Amino acid sequence: MQYPEPIAKLIDSYMRLPGIGNKTATRLAFFTIDMNQDDVDQFAKSLVAAKKDLHYCSICGNITDEDPCEIDRDQTRDQSQVLVVEQVKDLMSIERMNDYHGLYHVLHGVLSPIEGLGPEDLNIESLIKRLQTNEAIKEVILATNATPEGEATAMYLARLIKPAGIKVTRLAHGLAVGSDIEYADEMTLLKAVEGRTEL
């Protein structure tokens, strides 16, 4: 038996989300149908607003509804440190530990020849320009994941940055190899930031 077209389309839409298979998508679709109209309308408005109103910060690449983002507007933050992460969700994980008070730069990925991602596909050019134009930056902390692609990206960035005389450090390997920053607990992240080493 086939579902009516509106349900089939809703199931298909949910299946486009990462980690959502057919069974979960079907369950979510029927849950959505059972929601009251006000909740459905609010859900739809939230989706549209998130897509329409959010964009990447022109300075650091963080997701924001204002440009520059809240972090880059905050003059009380340590302007001498920039912590480089792969994704916005990694930035959010580090912010949750409430112990790092510097700036950020989001790459939006890692170098991956297998997936055809090179330096031109990442937010690297704006990082280099930022370092060239902001003399207050004295240290770049590379906080890419401890994966082969994350390590390769960190080494590539270190080779680009070190000739400028800026200190380049890497998160300590308190994070398990192959793990993602977004899934680490706050204590593990804290120890990793505290134990970073220069490359």
pLDDT-derived band at 137 (thresholds 50, 70, 90) equals very high
Fold adopted by 5-53: Helicase, Ruva Protein; domain 3 (1.10.8)
Which amino acid does the sequence have at 132? Q
* β-pair type (55-56, 63-64): antiparallel
Among 79-88, 103-112, 176-185, the minimum mean pLDDT is found in 176-185
pLDDT of residue 95: 96
What is the arithmetic mean of pLDDT over 148-153?
94
Rounded percentage of the chain residues whose pLDDT exceeds 70 = 98
Q: State the pTM of this model.
A: 0.81
What is the arithmetic mean of pLDDT over 80-85?
98
Counted residue by residue, the chain has a size of 199
Rounded percentage of the chain residues whose pLDDT exceeds 90 = 83
Residues of the chain with CATH 1.10.8.420: 5-53
pLDDT of residue 142: 97
Q: Give the model confidence (pLDDT) of 161-191 as tens digits.
A: 999 999 999 987 767 777 788 888 887 787 7
Tell me the CATH number for domain 75-198: 3.40.1360.10
Residues of the chain with CATH 3.40.1360.10: 75-198
Is residue 65 within 8 Å of residue 41, measured between CB atoms? no
Over 90: is that where the pLDDT of 41 sits?
yes
Q: Closest Cα to residue 173, out of 198, 197, 141?
A: 197
**What are the DSSP calls for 65-82, one per residue?**
SSSS-HHHH-TTS-TTEE
Q: DSSP H helical segments within the chain, as ranges?
A: 5-15, 22-34, 37-53, 70-73, 88-96, 125-133, 148-161, 186-194
Higher pLDDT among residues 110 and 196, named by residue: 110
pLDDT of residue 174: 67
pLDDT of residue 73: 97
Most confident of 7-11, 173-177, 182-186, 193-197: 7-11
